[in-house]
């Protein structure tokens, strides 16, 4: 980073002038998340999935028959976003919703045979994404952990 850029940022802070988006952490995270979703798009299109649908299925592939609440907590989604997502996957025949036998207030989401079979078709995606980043596996793990630590610190404030 050049001395000019550092001085420029310091000036912004002392003069209480807003930073331009390229200098903002929030913009770096936002634009990177957007670019990441765009990178997934051509990989998911042949499977007929959107990025949020892929995340939901990935959660179920790691642990099937989860409650809507548990999925919402893991994916950081509110029920008003999660329910339509589940309904779309249900209409595609990839998941089914049932009332929990122990507590009928709870709805469980379970993979169908088609949803389980899709896991094998999507197995190549994590390696493709890792390759697209151009980063070593240890660096990717470290970056993910730092981002999650930041998210957790922001959640506790």
pLDDT confidence of 13, banded at 50, 70, 90? Answer: low
pLDDT at 70 over 60: yes
pTM above 0.95, yes or no: no
> What is the rounded average pLDDT of the residues 127-141?
97
The residues facing 97 across adjacent strands are: 109
Contact between 66 and 109 under an 8 Å Cβ cutoff? The reply is: yes
Q: Which domains does the chain have, with CATH numbers?
A: 20-122 (1.10.10.10), 124-157 (no CATH)
3-state secondary structure the chain: CCHHHHHHHHHHHHHCCCCCHHHCHHHHHHHHHHHHHHHHHHHHHHHCCCHHHHHHHHHHHHCCCEEHHHHHHHHCCCHHHHHHHHHHHHHCCCEEEEECCCCCCCEEEEECHHHHHHHHHHCCHHHHHHHHHCCCHHHHHHHHHHHHHHHHHHHCC
Residue 116: predicted pLDDT? 98
pLDDT confidence of 102, banded at 50, 70, 90? Answer: confident
Chain position carrying tokens 């998210």:
151
């Amino acid at each position: 980073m050049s001395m000019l850029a550092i001085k420029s940022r310091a000036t912004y802070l002392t003069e209480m002038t807003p930073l331009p988006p390229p200098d903002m952490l929030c913009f770096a995270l936002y634009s990177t998340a957007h670019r990441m979703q765009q990178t997934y798009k051509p990989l998911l299109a042949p499977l007929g999935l959107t990025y949020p649908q892929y995340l939901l299925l990935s959660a179920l592939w790691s642990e099937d028959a989860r409650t809507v609440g548990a999925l919402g907590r893991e994916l950081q989604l509110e029920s008003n976003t999660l329910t339509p997502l589940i309904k779309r996957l249900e209409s595609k025949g990839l998941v089914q919703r049932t009332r929990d036998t122990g507590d009928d207030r709870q709805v469980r989401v379970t993979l169908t045979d088609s949803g389980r079979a899709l896991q094998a078709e999507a197995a190549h995606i994590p390696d493709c994404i890792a390759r697209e980043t151009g980063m070593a596996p240890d660096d990717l793990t470290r970056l993910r952990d730092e981002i999650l630590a930041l998210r957790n610190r922001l959640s506790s404030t």
